[in-house]
Amino acid sequence: MERYLVRGAGKLSGILPVHGAKNAALPILAASLLCDGCELHNCPRLSDVDAACHILNHLGCSTRWQNETLLIGAGDSRDCSIPDHLMREMRSSIVFLGAMLAKYRQAKLTFPGGCELGPRPIDLHLSSLRKMGVCFEQQGDALYCSVPKELHGASIDLPFPSVGATENIMLAASLAKGDTVIRNAAREPEISDLAGFLNAAGGCVHMEKDGTVRIHGVEKLQHCTYSVIPDRIVGITYLCCAAITGGRITICNTEPNHMRAVFPIFEEMGCRLSIGSHEVSLQAPERLKAARSITTMPYPGFPTDALAPIMALSMVARGTSIFTENIFQNRYKQAWELCRMGAEIRTEGRIAVVRGVEHLHPASVICTDLRGGAALVIAALVTEGVTTIGEIRHIERGYENLPAVLNQAGACITVE
């Protein structure tokens, strides 16, 4: 089992390009099942993307890398099911449900795996698809999905703007009969990217500013070429790496607009930002100040996936920070591991209180989930000595070559 050895190594500096967004690429890969093949640029090479490719291969599509472009060849399979071992590889495997229903009008799958962020039900996915004519039957841990009459458009009001449910409805609706309207849909940039891909393939998806998505079902989708948006959470993570070391970096190939909810927090912590059209430069102070209150919300609010990286900064900032997590129930699993490095964190339900300390010390820690793992790497950059980070498979789900990228900016991370 590989692990990172991180040696605290002073201020980071340099220019770091940001790779394509995992959370945009995965639903787009599910959508590619519906096209006559596609050419996907800026697709990140991550274990979760590999897992999506394995599902596509199982469903008869070919997948081939050409540098950072993923070529997907159309295919067909008589087996409209996803085996349990592929479903467990990642939580987002559930987004294949909408695509399979659109293509085969049936599907069989088991309940998905992924990050352990508390209960992650799929009731909103199922109740929405039911309105579109889908029937579900659960047998053991298997879910049998069928469309007895026709897959048709529907008017759907989501009680919560679930990202995954919005994506599944969009996928099913793109080849359903008639029109679908989703109200209170998720508005994350990754949703707009899925809409962009479906439209590039000949679909008809319209997103309104108030969180309404309108989809007109079409007969079929064609071959298309598309470029995935940059990963906003990866960009924020790189900025955090520089900020904790008192460094100065520029992230490029990025979309600053997608990260704007996090910029005021960096500024409150004493960082100076310079924001261009596709790049962000950050100059950190010698010691960060605490950001008083960080509250996660659906987009365009502060993203839940940025909570753990910012928490790592608050551990060494001057003062006390209060985090309120409103999206997932169990987002503080990394807190125990961070405390092993000398952090002072108290959690109670959705709240975490972090009192900044002057120094962190090296420890042997393990990743509990993807963003929690990133927080461990950020914190380890300022420990005086070598921190060992295990279970790095969590980090590799969402960060492409993180050690090599950070070493390029002056970090000292080895993989063994």
**Which residues are identified as catalytic?**
115
Q: Which is nearer to ligand UD1, 163 or 312 (CB)?
A: 163
- Residues 339 and 226: beta-carbon distance below 8 Å: no
User: Assign residue 29 a region: left if phi > 0, alpha if psi is -120 to 50, beta otherwise?
Assistant: alpha
- Residues 161 and 189: beta-carbon distance below 8 Å: no
| CA distances in angstroms from 172 to 5, 106, 144, 405, listed in the order given | 44, 11, 16, 38
Q: Which is nearer to ligand UD1, 72 or 327 (CB)?
A: 327
- Residues 12 and 245: beta-carbon distance below 8 Å: yes
Q: Which is nearer to ligand UD1, 248 or 258 (CB)?
A: 258
Q: Which is nearer to ligand UD1, 111 or 289 (CB)?
A: 111
- Pairing relationship of beta strands 386-390 and 4-7 according to DSSP bridges: antiparallel
* 96-104 vs 123-131: helix crossing angle, rounded to 10: 20
- CA separation for the pair 157, 263 (Å, rounded): 31
Task: Give the residue closest to ligand UD1 by C-beta.
Answer: 164
Q: Which is nearer to ligand UD1, 327 or 338 (CB)?
A: 327
Q: Which is nearer to ligand UD1, 117 or 381 (CB)?
A: 117
Helix, strand or coil, per DSSP, at residue 139: strand
What would the two tokens of residue 231 be?
């990963």
Nearest to 380 by CA among 4, 2, 1: 4
Minimum distance of ligand UD1 from residue 138's CB (angstroms)? 15
What would the two tokens of residue 320 be?
């006390």
- Residues 223 and 32: beta-carbon distance below 8 Å: no
| 279 Cβ neighbours under 8 A, 6+ residues apart | 250, 251, 252, 253, 254, 256
- Residues 399 and 234: beta-carbon distance below 8 Å: yes
- CA separation for the pair 131, 151 (Å, rounded): 9
Minimum distance of ligand UD1 from residue 392's CB (angstroms)? 18
Minimum distance of ligand UD1 from residue 159's CB (angstroms)? 9
Minimum distance of ligand UD1 from residue 82's CB (angstroms)? 16
Q: Which is nearer to ligand UD1, 238 or 299 (CB)?
A: 299
Q: How many CB atoms lie within 10 A of CB 178?
A: 14
- List contacts with ligand UD1 (CB under 6 A): 23, 26, 91-92, 120-125, 160, 162-165, 186, 190, 304-305, 327-328
Nearest to 272 by CA among 284, 263, 260: 284
Minimum distance of ligand UD1 from residue 100's CB (angstroms)? 17
Residue type, 326: N
Helix, strand or coil, per DSSP, at residue 263: helix
Minimum distance of ligand UD1 from residue 129's CB (angstroms)? 11
Q: Which is nearer to ligand UD1, 186 or 207 (CB)?
A: 186
Minimum distance of ligand UD1 from residue 363's CB (angstroms)? 26
Nearest to 66 by CA among 36, 42, 49, 35: 42
Minimum distance of ligand UD1 from residue 160's CB (angstroms)? 5
- Residues 384 and 245: beta-carbon distance below 8 Å: no
With tokens 């997103």, the residue in question is 207
